[in-house]
């Protein structure tokens, strides 16, 4: 094992301006990686750059579900990519099936599923050539229905399916794909359960009775970096809860 697991490697991290994405990008740089950091907030990326002036960091601001952002990220790789962490995501205010509106559904699916699928597709030629590693952020909501609304739950269940499909189709080539399923994490993702009194009545007691303490983003970053590293060479298609044990309830 090495504390410099990513020397000579280029890793792309989405949602890198805050929360899990930022913690992942910073740990990767600490361990020697050249990091391509993507985030919808230019200000957050500027702050990240200011804190890492001496590190090999390339920042690309934009919506990961937009064509121009995907094109900019492909160009930023400069023909070489060893790993991808699909971290960027948004919540759905716990809206249940009978209350979810089309705008919420479409936006959540676009950012949480369609964007990562399209970005990964564009990056696959480089990742396959490098026999690299993809680490996707799914969620506790990808394992059960009681920790989010219908749009977020469906998007994260689908992210698990996408991860397994990548692992199946490209595993024999040496490209690995795995997913981490966090529970509650201290990030800047906004959630307003007050949007649905029905959801508060149904989900609130379940969350209060079973959810572990909120985790720091660095705890999830540790799992993502392990999956991106050669320490996990024998791991492919794994769906790894990092939820403080929430999945056993």
Residues annotated catalytic, as ranges:
152
Q: What HEC string does the chain produce?
A: CCCCCCCCCEEEEECCCCHHHHHHHHHHHHCCCEEEEEECCHHHHHHHHHHCCCCCEEEEECCCCCHHHHHHHHHHHCCCCCEEEECCCCCCCCCCCCCCCHHHHHHHHHHHHHHHHHHHHHHHHHHHHHCCEEEEECCHHHCCCCCCCHHHHHHHHHHHHHHHHHHHHHHHHCCEEEEEEECCECCCCCCCHHHCHHHHHHHHHHHHHHCCCCECHHHHHHHHHHHHCHHHCCCCCCEEEECCCHHHC
Instruction: Classify burial at 22, counting beta carbons within 10 Å of its beta carbon; exposed 0-12, middle 13-18, buried 19 or more.
Output: buried
């Amino acid at each position: 094992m090495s504390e410099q697991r990513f020397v000579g490697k280029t890793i792309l991290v989405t949602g890198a301006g805050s929360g899990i994405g930022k913690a992942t990008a910073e740990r990767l740089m600490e361990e020697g990686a050249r990091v391509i950091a993507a985030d919808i907030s230019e200000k957050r990326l500027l702050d990240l750059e200011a804190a890492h002036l001496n590190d090999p960091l390339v920042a690309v601001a934009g919506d990961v579900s937009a064509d121009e952002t995907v094109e900019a990220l492909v160009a930023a790789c400069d023909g070489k990519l060893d790993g991808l962490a699909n971290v960027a995501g948004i919540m759905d205010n716990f809206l249940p099936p009978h209350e979810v509106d089309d705008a919420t559904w479409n936006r959540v699916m676009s950012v949480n599923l369609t964007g990562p699928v399209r970005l990964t597709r564009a990056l696959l030629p480089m990742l396959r050539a490098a026999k690299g590693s993809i680490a996707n952020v799914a969620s506790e909501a990808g394992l059960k229905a009681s920790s989010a609304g219908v749009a977020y739950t469906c998007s994260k269940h689908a992210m698990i399916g996408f991860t397994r499909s990548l692992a199946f189709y490209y595993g024999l080539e040496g490209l690995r794909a795995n997913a981490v399923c966090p529970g509650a994490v201290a990030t800047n993702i906004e959630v307003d359960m007050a949007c649905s009194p029905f959801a508060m009545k149904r989900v609130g007691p379940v969350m209060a009775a079973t959810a572990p303490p909120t985790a720091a983003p660095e705890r999830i970053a540790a799992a993502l970096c392990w999956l991106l590293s050669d320490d996990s060479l024998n791991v492919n298609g794994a769906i790894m809860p990092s939820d403080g044990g929430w999945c056993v309830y």
